[in-house]
Structure 1
Amino acid sequence: MNPAANPTGHGRVAADAAARGLAVDIFARPVAGSLTEAAALLGIDIADIVKSLVVKRSDGAFLFALVPGGRSISWPKLRAVVGVNKLQMPAAELALAATGYERGTITPLGSTTAWPVFADESIRGRRVSMGAGEHGYSLFVEADALISALNATVADISVPE
């Protein structure tokens, strides 16, 4: 098998970004024990780290919620935007099965299924860091370009932690 034909981890992320015409900078980074520690290691504000959260709908489908550091999903807001009465965070093994990525590495880029993406409006206009599909790697991307490339729905979906 040719590994370049079936990339894994950050290679899969890079391939998907390239296919979308999305410029990303993927780099190795030290392990961080928290979002605050990760921001310090990267030399950025905690709000510039975007968490890619996998959310399960009651019909068994999934979606991605992109939420900046220091904020968490507002379930009532997200349910209203999605137009459903029930959403939940799946178990780690379900998130892995739905995306092909382990928690802490999840990104919509290169996901094994292209689930709908909902981005918190507060990430607009920022250069953000997020998981790159593999432990020990992160990526930087212009949030507006990411939103466009993923055809993401942008709305107020978060609250301060």
Structure 2
Amino acid sequence: MPDHESYGIMVKEYSENQIAVIGEWIRKNIRPGRLISEYDSCSLKQLLEIDTGICLTNDTVKEAMLLAGFRPECSRDENWRFRILLVREINENPNPFFNWLMGAEYADGTPEGDFISDVSHDFRFPVFADHGIILGYLENEGAYEETLDAFERLWEEYEK
């Protein structure tokens, strides 16, 4: 039986939006499997953080997996293993916005040009995410208002 002392971490530590993003990531990326996966809770934590930009603890990933209906094979282990399949095609294809952004041409020194340059060097930028997740990532990183405005202008241009 899982250790329920840590149960409730998500509600206490993460916003409703972040919880929804975590749940959606699990729904899109993980399927029930017959065999125990090579991906344990720590591996899932790393993938989830790369894809969404949300920094999680191992215990939070465990709780999220429980809430999504996945049960660990041995809940006494530090890193839980599950009978799951990881659907990799979602993780290997960046969001079309990111692809568009890397091809967009804006002059250096403009807010948009600076934003694109920063994104291209930020290996934690959630390249697989949609507008809301990217905005949340920027806000969590403490981005300046000018950066947020540049992102919004670029997103509007992308949607045209």
Q: One fold, TM greater than 0.5?
A: no
TM-score, normalisation: structure 1:
0.27
Bigger fraction of residues in strand:
1
Higher relative contact order structure (alpha carbons within 8 Å, sequence separation ≥ 6): 1
Computing the radius of gyration from Cα coordinates, the structure with the larger value is: 2
